[in-house]
C-alpha cells in the first residue's frame, strides 16, 4: 500500500523590536559590535514546507513584491544550508506568508529563515536540536538566532550571542510601519559617517533589565534607546515626524526598531494602545499603524497542515 504523502509542516516565527540598541565602532570585518535587548512581538511570519523534488518558494502577504524569490531569499538559503549540513537529498516547496514589514528593522527575513530551518528539519526528519539550529541560523544572519528563541533576550557580539532576559507581564506596543524600507548596511554606514569620535564599547543599561524583571512599563519607557536613530533619520528625514508624532500620541515612550524605519511606541495596556494607535493614524505619518503584544515565543510548529481533499 502506498503511504500517504506528508501534508507539510507549518511553522510560525516572530518579528522583533529592539528595546535598546547600542552600537560600537566598525570592526575590520565590516560588522559592528552590538549590545541589544530583543523582544519578540505577536506580528509573525508563516512558513509551510511541503514535500517536493528540489527546493522551490512562493511568497505572499505584506510587502511580498519587495522580496526576492531567487536563491538570495533567506528562507531558501536556510533550506539549502540545512540540506548541505545534513546531507539530505529531500526537497521542499516553501510557502512564505509575510506579515512583518520588509526591510522594516523587525527582522522579517530572519524570521522566514528561522521558520524555514525548523519546518525543513521537521519535514525531512533531520532531527537537529534547538542549539544546532541556532548555530546554523547565525550563519544566515545576525537576527536569525533570536527568531528561533523568541521571548526577550540580550544580544551581544553582532547581536547573535544571546542570553535570555527575565521579563514579567505582557507589553503593548503600537507600531508605525512605512511603505518604504531602509537598508541595514546603509544605516550602519550612515552611523559611521555621523561619528565624530570612536564610540564606547556597547553595553545594555541594567535599569532596562530591572524594568523588564519588575514588569514596569513606565520604567522600561525611560530606558528605550537606539544608537542608529540619527543615521536612519539622516537617510529618511520623514522619520523625525513619525518619532515626534509617536511621542505626542501619549505613549509612555518610543523607539526606532533595529535599523528602522518601523517606530515602536509603548503603551500601558491594550486600551491605551488602541487610543495611541488612533491618534497616530490621524497624524498620517505612517503607512500603517498596528497594535501588537510582546514577548512572543520563538519559531514553533503549528497544528499539522491538512492534506488536500
Ligand atoms: C540592526 C539589527 O536589526 C539589530 O537587531 C540587526 O543587527 C541587523 O541584523 P541582520 O539584518 O540579520 O544583519 P545581517 O544580514 O547580519 O547584516 C547586514 C549588514 O548590516 C551591517 N551590520 C549588521 C549587523 C552588525 N552587528 N553590524 C553591521 O555592521 C553589515 O554591513 C552587514 O553586512
Ligand atoms: N524572506 C525574505 N523576506 C524579506 N526580505 C528578504 C527575504 N529574503 C531576503 N530578503 C532581502 O533582505 C532585505 C532585508 O530584509 P528584512 O525584511 O529582514 O529587513 P529588516 O527587517 O530591516 O532586517 P533586520 O531588522 O534584520 O535588519 C530585503 O530588502 C530583501 O531584499
145 shares a domain with 32: yes
Cβ 115 under 6 angstroms from ligand 2 = no
Q: Which of 105, 137, 165 is the last residue of a domain?
A: 165
Structural domain harbouring 93: 9-165
Band of the pLDDT at 160, cuts 50, 70, 90? confident
| Segment 156-172 mean pLDDT | 94
Task: Return the sign of the alpha-carbon dihedral for residues 69, 49, 177, 64.
Answer: positive
Flag whether 101 is marked binding. yes
- What's the ipTM? 0.95
209 shares a domain with 132: no
Atom of ligand 2 nearest to the CA of 110: 18
CATH number of the domain where residue 122 is located: 3.30.230.10
243 shares a domain with 101: no
Q: Which one from 46, 112, 121, 143 is the annotated catalytic residue?
A: 143
Number of domains present in the structure of the chain: 2
Task: Return the sign of the alpha-carbon dihedral for residues 192, 287, 292, 107.
Answer: negative
Q: Give every CB contact of residue 66 below 8 A, 6+ residues apart in sequence.
A: 102, 103, 181
Flag whether 108 is marked binding. yes
Structure-block grid coordinates of residue 203? 553595553
153 shares a domain with 44: yes
98 is catalytic: no
37-79 confidence digits (pLDDT tens): 999 999 999 999 999 999 999 999 999 999 999 999 999 999 9
Structure-block grid coordinates of residue 278? 488612533
- Whether omega before 56 lies within 30 degrees of 0, making that bond cis, reads no
Band of the pLDDT at 1, cuts 50, 70, 90? very low
Return the pLDDT at 294: 98
- DSSP annotation of 52: E
143 is catalytic: yes
CB atoms within 10 A of CB 131: 9
Whole-model pTM: value is 0.95
Cβ 94 under 6 angstroms from ligand 2 = no
143 CA from centroid of ligand 2 (Å): 10
Q: How far apart are CA 76 and CA 192, in angstroms?
A: 32
226 shares a domain with 179: yes
Within 43-170, residue ranges assigned H as helices are 74-86, 108-124, 130-140, 144-149
159 shares a domain with 80: yes
Largest CA distance in the chain: 72
Q: Which of 109, 138, 165 is the last residue of a domain?
A: 165
77 shares a domain with 40: yes
210 shares a domain with 155: no
Which residue is closest in CA terms to ligand 2's atom 30? Answer: 67
113-139 confidence digits (pLDDT tens): 999 999 999 999 998 999 999 999 999
157 shares a domain with 177: no
Q: Which of 109, 144, 165 is the last residue of a domain?
A: 165
Flag whether 166 is marked binding. no
Amino acid at each position: 500500500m502506498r503511504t500517504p504523502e506528508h501534508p507539510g509542516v507549518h511553522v510560525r516565527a516572530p518579528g522583533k523590536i529592539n528595546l535598546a540598541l547600542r552600537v560600537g565602532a566598525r570592526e575590520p570585518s565590516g560588522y559592528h559590535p552590538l549590545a541589544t535587548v530583543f523582544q519578540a512581538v505577536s506580528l509573525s511570519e508563516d512558513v509551510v514546507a511541503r514535500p517536493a523534488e528540489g527546493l522551490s518558494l512562493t511568497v505572499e502577504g505584506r510587502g511580498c513584491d519587495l522580496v526576492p524569490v531567487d536563491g538570495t531569499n533567506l528562507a531558501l538559503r536556510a533550506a539549502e544550508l540545512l540540506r548541505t549540513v545534513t546531507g539530505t537529498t529531500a526537497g521542499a516547496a516553501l510557502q512564505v506568508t509575510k506579515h512583518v514589514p520588509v526591510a522594516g528593522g523587525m527582522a522579517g527575513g530572519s524570521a522566514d529563515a528561522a521558520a524555514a530551518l525548523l519546518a525543513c528539519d521537521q519535514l525531512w526528519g533531520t532531527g537537529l536540536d534547538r542549539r544546532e539550529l541556532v548555530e546554523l541560523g547565525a550563519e544566515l544572519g545576525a537576527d536569525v538566532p533570536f527568531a528561533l528563541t523568541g521571548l526577550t533576550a540580550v544580544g551581544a557580539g553582532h547581536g547573535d550571542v544571546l542570553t535570555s532576559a527575565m521579563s514579567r507581564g505582557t507589553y503593548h506596543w503600537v507600531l508605525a510601519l512605512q511603505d518604504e524600507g531602509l537598508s541595514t548596511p546603509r544605516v550602519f554606514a550612515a552611523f559611521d559617517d555621523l561619528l565624530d569620535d570612536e564610540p564606547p564599547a556597547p553595553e545594555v543599561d541594567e535599569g532596562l533589565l530591572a524594568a523588564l524583571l519588575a514588569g514596569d512599563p513606565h520604567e522600561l519607557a525611560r530606558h528605550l534607546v537606539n544608537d542608529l536613530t540619527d543615521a536612519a533619520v539622516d537617510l529618511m528625514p520623514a522619520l523625525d515626524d513619525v518619532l515626534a508624532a509617536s511621542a505626542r500620541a501619549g505613549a509612555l515612550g518610543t523607539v526606532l526598531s533595529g535599523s528602522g524605519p518601523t517606530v515602536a511606541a509603548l503603551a500601558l495596556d491594550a486600551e491605551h494602545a488602541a487610543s495611541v494607535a488612533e491618534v497616530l493614524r490621524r497624524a498620517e505619518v505612517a503607512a500603517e499603524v498596528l497594535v501588537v503584544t510582546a514577548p512572543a515565543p520563538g519559531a514553533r510548529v503549528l497544528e499539522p497542515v491538512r492534506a488536500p481533499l
